[in-house]
């Protein structure tokens, strides 16, 4: 445990000496003025030892060079005291006590800015504040580290996924390195990073310019309209102190979400890494839902490839089992306000609880403005979020507590060797939740032990922990799975129990009255130790889970221990261990808790066949909800939900308690507005109830129907039942373009442009419900001229599952094929494009002037 120490910030105006330090002053920040050059620099000391050498300060804007010729105008000091609560992180409750000194500085032409410096128990930070919004060109900001200091660095890339490696501050090659960067200066450790970066500024890297100097390099050549810059952050202490630091969050802006009750961290079953094609498979995703429900994991993430054709049904299936669905998106699918205004309410209606947004891969100001926008919009819709292919955490999870995790790591998706695992908790994971996607038992290189893998959810912190392997793999290791079912993702306290970057890492984290210990090592077999001094008065029951030889399942043993004891575990090469510790009260034989399950229930709805609903008409729906289990359910509500603009006659049906065999029934009349859009619809009837250990459980079944199409219409103006596409979304009245929505060009086939139609990419399928009212479908089919290499596709018109017409293979440059297809009696139309037999690359295809004529 680290003791609280007094903090000071020291300003020295040369040639005067620095203020004297007292033994209680652990950290000092010396801001030094050189009056001859008019420059300012900052150095940092810990217990009198210099850990950051004098390093330049200053900023260059479009109107002034504020790096030299500076003088101090004023200075003031205050104490910053705050308390706040997180939804994720190394501990939930946080206390902030910083000494803040503001230096008002003036340069040539009386241009001014403020240098704001904060000194905390766990580090030093500074930022620049300009008097009015100004374009920023660069910063003089740099950190001079003693050249002989050990260093753990990551070559910069915008997705922050390169491997970290060990070197020294001076020996590292000249070039860019990513935040955070860790250095060992004698007995002290220094972690360099940044905090409170958002769309008002740009992100940065650390450019090693030689010696041990690391220059802050902005990722935009011009940051527009900046006024308050990010905190340049130096976390300082022993290794435990740096690792347990919350300084990055402490410097961030307070939460913008008043009610966080809907935000729920937890374990996630995730299929993409172990079987890439599975997110396209409804039945396979149900297997993951069943596995999650059986093991008490609250979420399933459906990654790239999901279809709106079946996600609503999967969501209903999952919620009835106490499991919620998360969905993957390429960021280009949500990068405009219009796309978010369309998609996010739809996700809410489906019952989806969160999104994984991927491939941002930029630290530019414009990309940070996207982060700002989507965080605000998802918060408004009560959708949790996970950023992949992203920047590092900058305190965003304090400002936006529904941000459950971020990637920015060389994680399991890279099929990494284990030597990086004991570096990540001391570097990347220090600054925020890290979506490493751990516990690869059968997927990946399989060079770590099972004990090492199951320790990762303790050693690594993530508000959502996405497990990397498939259900069958975990089921083959039942003792390992039992531990995974116990480990939480929310921590009240974190202690570093031992380790050294790149060699070992031993962490103890507390949730409620239980401690979870995880230890990992790379290299030869050895003994890992964890002094139990973090425990309070005992005795304590300690259940240790360790390897059992080869890659066999782990074994569990039990002992009684006290806070004066040390837990020692022999681990194999690249091995690890875990432990669960709880109070050894009378009669307690295990720290493991039962896995909660939702009660067995059933719901029936009518009509059971498809409803044809003319605009302006009404129809009746019913629902009956029954409890099959002996355990009663509480606060039950049964009601339908209808599409926007539709109305219902009849109130929800409720009961305080519903016991085994009892039935709750309701009857309602649904009114279809006169202006209802044609196409398929769903009216879900849902029962919601409360049982211990779960949020409100949602059991629903949908009444399905169709508003028939009449008159004439272009297909691009209609609602789709579903739309799948081989690259990006299906585009309306433009070519397929790139991976984002709305990024196509005018539809063009063999040099002729068309104003109406669909732009797609093989394999593609657009499904539209017609209701048997349409007579003909017409279109001009062909490959779009935007293909940069010859593409080829075949077009199919399918009615009620039967191929009504197909073109054969068409290639880039071929004249469009005119289609006229009879649709008499067809209820469901599908427009399908295949890859032509030679792969889908370059297969941008157009349904130009796609048109329906109906009764």
Is the distance from CB of 10 to CB of 30 less than 8 angstroms?
yes
The pLDDT confidence band at residue 391, using thresholds 50, 70 and 90, is very high
Query: Residue 710 to residues 418, 459, 682, 719, 821: CA-CA distances in angstroms?
Result: 62, 61, 20, 14, 17
What SS3 class is residue 83?
Answer: strand
Is the distance from CB of 432 to CB of 89 less than 8 angstroms?
yes
Q: Could you give the percent of the chain with pLDDT greater than 70?
A: 97
Tokens coding 730: 């299906």
Rg (CA), the chain: 30
Is the distance from CB of 694 to CB of 322 less than 8 angstroms?
yes
Query: What integer is the mean pLDDT of 485-504?
Result: 98
The architecture of the domain spanning 712-854 is Sandwich (2.60)
The pLDDT of residue 18: 31
Question: Could you tell me which CATH class the domain 6-250 is placed in?
Answer: mainly beta
Query: Residue 562 to residues 566, 604, 621: CA-CA distances in angstroms?
Result: 9, 55, 62
Candidate list 358, 453, 543, 849, residue with the active-site label = 358
Tokens coding 381: 């819709």
The pLDDT of residue 731: 95
Active-site residue, 377 included = no
Q: Could you give the percent of the chain with pLDDT greater than 90?
A: 92
- Of 106 and 727, the one with more pLDDT: 106
Tokens coding 127: 């930022």
Q: The sheet that has 213-218: what strands, in order across it? A: 6-13, 25-34, 39-46, 49-56, 142-144, 213-218, 204-210, 175-177
The pLDDT confidence band at residue 21, using thresholds 50, 70 and 90, is very low
Per-residue pLDDT at 17 exceeds 80: no
The pLDDT of residue 842: 83
DSSP 762-829: SSEEEEEE-TT-EEEEEEEEEE-TT-SS--EEEEEEEETTEEEEEEEEEETTPPPEEEEEE-TT-SEE
Neighbours of 74 (CB within 10 A): 10
The pLDDT of residue 6: 32
The pLDDT of residue 299: 98
The pLDDT of residue 386: 98
The pLDDT of residue 4: 29
* C-alpha–C-alpha distance, residues 780 and 739, integer Å: 24
Domains of the chain by residue range:
6-250, 601-707, 712-854
Most confident of 671-680, 703-712, 793-802: 793-802
Per-residue pLDDT at 27 exceeds 50: yes
- Give tens-digit pLDDT for 175-219: 999 999 999 999 999 999 999 999 999 999 999 999 999 999 999
Per-residue pLDDT at 340 exceeds 80: yes
Nearest to 119 by CA among 28, 1, 235: 28
For residue 434, what is the DSSP state?
B
Question: In the chain, count of helices (H) and strands (E)?
Answer: 10, 57
Per-residue pLDDT at 617 exceeds 60: yes
The pLDDT confidence band at residue 363, using thresholds 50, 70 and 90, is very high
Per-residue pLDDT at 300 exceeds 50: yes
Per-residue pLDDT at 624 exceeds 70: yes
* C-alpha–C-alpha distance, residues 301 and 25, integer Å: 48
C-alpha torsion 409→411→416→417, nearest 10:
80
Query: What integer is the mean pLDDT of 606-622?
Result: 96
The pLDDT of residue 25: 56
Nearest to 52 by CA among 176, 235, 221: 235
CATH of domain 601-707: 2.60.40.10
- Give tens-digit pLDDT for 37-81: 999 999 999 999 999 999 999 999 999 999 999 999 999 999 999
Query: What integer is the mean pLDDT of 341-366?
Result: 97
Candidate list 413, 553, 733, 800, residue with the active-site label = 413
Per-residue pLDDT at 528 exceeds 60: yes
Alpha-carbon torsion (371, 374, 377, 380), positive or negative: negative
Average pLDDT of the chain to the nearest whole number: 95
The pLDDT confidence band at residue 719, using thresholds 50, 70 and 90, is confident
Query: What integer is the mean pLDDT of 583-604?
Result: 96
Active-site residue, 731 included = no
The pLDDT of residue 831: 98
3-state secondary structure 671-729: ECCCCCCCEEEEEEEEEEEECCCCCCEEEEEEEEEEECCCCEEEHHHCCCCEEECCCCC
Query: What integer is the mean pLDDT of 116-132?
Result: 98
Query: What integer is the mean pLDDT of 216-239?
Result: 98
Q: Of 223-227, 371-375, 679-683, 840-844, which range is least confident?
A: 840-844
Is the distance from CB of 392 to CB of 432 less than 8 angstroms?
yes
Please confirm whether the linkage preceding 607 is cis (ω < 30° from 0): yes
Per-residue pLDDT at 519 exceeds 60: yes
- Within a 13 Å sphere around the CA of 449, how many CA atoms are in the beta-carbon half? 30
Tokens coding 631: 């355990």
């Amino acid at each position: 445990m680290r003791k609280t120490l007094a903090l000071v910030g020291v300003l020295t105006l040369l040639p005067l000496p620095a203020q004297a330090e007292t033994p209680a002053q652990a950290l000092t920040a010396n801001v030094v003025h050189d009056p001859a050059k008019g420059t300012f620099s900052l150095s940092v000391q810990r217990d009198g030892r210099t850990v950051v050498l004098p390093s330049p300060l200053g900023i260059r804007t479009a109107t002034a060079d504020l790096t030299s010729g500076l003088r101090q105008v004023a200075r003031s000091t205050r104490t910053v005291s705050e308390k706040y609560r997180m939804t994720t992180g190394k501990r939930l409750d946080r206390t902030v006590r910083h000494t803040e000194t503001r230096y008002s500085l003036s340069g040539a032409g009386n241009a001014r800015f403020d240098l704001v410096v904060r000194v905390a128990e766990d580090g030093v930070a500074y930022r620049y504040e300009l008097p009015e919004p100004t374009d920023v060109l660069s910063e003089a900001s740099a950190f001079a580290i003693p050249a002989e200091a050990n260093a753990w660095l990551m070559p910069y890339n915008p997705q922050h996924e390169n491997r970290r490696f060990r070197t020294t501050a001076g020996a590292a090659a000249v070039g860019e390195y990513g935040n955070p960067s860790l250095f060992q200066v004698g007995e002290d450790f220094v972690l360099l990073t940044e905090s409170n970066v958002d769309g008002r500024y740009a992100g940065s890297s650390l450019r090693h310019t030689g010696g041990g100097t690391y220059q802050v390099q902005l990722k935009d050549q011009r940051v527009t309209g900046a006024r308050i810059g990010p905190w340049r952050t130096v976390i300082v202490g022993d290794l435990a102190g740096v690792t347990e630091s919350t300084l990055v969050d402490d410097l961030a802006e307070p939460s913008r979400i008043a009610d966080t009750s809907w935000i729920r961290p937890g374990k996630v079953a995730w299929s993409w890494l172990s079987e890439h094609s599975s997110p396209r498979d409804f039945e396979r995703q149900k297997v993951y839902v069943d596995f999650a429900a059986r093991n008490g994991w609250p979420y399933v993430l459906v990654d790239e490839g999901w279809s709106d054709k079946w996600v609503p049904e999967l969501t209903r299936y999952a919620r009835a089992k106490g499991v919620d669905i998360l969905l993957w998106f390429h960021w280009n699918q949500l990068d405009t306000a219009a796309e978010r205004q369309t998609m996010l309410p739809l996700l809410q209606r489906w019952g989806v609880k969160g999104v994984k947004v991927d491939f941002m891969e930029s630290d530019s100001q414009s990309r940070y403005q996207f982060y700002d926008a989507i965080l605000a919009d998802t918060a408004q819709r009560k959708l949790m979020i996970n950023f992949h292919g992203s920047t590092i955490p900058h305190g965003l999870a304090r400002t936006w507590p529904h941000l459950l995790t971020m990637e920015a790591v060389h994680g399991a998706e890279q099929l990494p060797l284990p030597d990086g695992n004991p570096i990540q908790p001391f570097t990347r994971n220090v600054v925020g939740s890290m979506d490493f996607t751990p516990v690869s038992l059968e997927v990946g290189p399989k060079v770590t032990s099972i004990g090492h893998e199951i320790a990762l959810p303790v050693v690594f912190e993530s508000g959502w922990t996405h497990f990397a392997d498939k259900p069958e793999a975990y089921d083959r290791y039942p003792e390992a799975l039992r531990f995974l079912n116990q480990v939480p993702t929310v921590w009240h306290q974190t202690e570093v129990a031992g380790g050294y970057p790149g060699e070992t890492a031993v962490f103890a984290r507390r949730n409620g009255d239980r401690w979870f210990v995880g230890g990992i090592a790379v290299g030869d077999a050895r003994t890992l130790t964890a002094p139990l001094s973090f425990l309070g008065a005992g005795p304590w029951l300690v259940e240790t889970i360790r390897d059992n030889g080869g890659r066999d399942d782990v074994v569990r043993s039990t002992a009684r221990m006290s806070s004066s004891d040390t837990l020692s575990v022999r681990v194999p090469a690249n091995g690890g261990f875990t432990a669960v510790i709880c109070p050894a009260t009378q009669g307690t034989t295990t720290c493991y808790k039962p896995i909660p399950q939702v009660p067995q229930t059933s719901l029936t709805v009518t009509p059971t066949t498809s409803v044809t609903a003319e605009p302006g008409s009404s129809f009746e729906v019913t629902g009956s909800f029954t409890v099959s289990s002996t355990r009663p359910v509480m606060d039950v509500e049964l009601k339908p939900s209808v599409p926007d603009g539709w109305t219902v006659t009849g109130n929800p049906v409720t009961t305080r308690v519903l016991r085994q065999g009892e039935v709750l029934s309701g009857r309602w009349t649904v009114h279809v507005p006169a202006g209802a859009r044609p196409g398929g619809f769903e009216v879900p009837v849902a029962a919601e109830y409360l049982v211990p250990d779960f949020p409100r459980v949602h059991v629903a079944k949908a009444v399905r129907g169709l508003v028939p199409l009449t008159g004439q219409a272009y297909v691009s103006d209609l609602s789709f039942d579903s739309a799948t596409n081989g690259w990006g979304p299906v585009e309306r009245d433009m070519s397929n373009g790139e991976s984002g929505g709305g990024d196509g060009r005018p539809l063009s086939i063999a040099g002729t442009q068309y104003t109406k139609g669909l732009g797609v990419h093989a394999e593609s399928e657009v499904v539209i419900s017609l209701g048997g009212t349409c007579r003909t479908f017409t279109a001009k089919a062909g490959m779009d001229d935007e293909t940069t290499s010859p593409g080829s596709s075949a077009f199919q018109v399918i009615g009620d599952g039967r191929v009504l017409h197909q073109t054969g293979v068409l290639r880039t440059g071929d004249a469009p094929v005119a289609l006229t297809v009879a649709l008499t009696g067809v209820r469901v139309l599908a427009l399908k494009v295949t890859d032509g037999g030679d792969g889908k690359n370059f297969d941008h295809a157009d349904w130009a002037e796609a048109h329906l004529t109906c009764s």
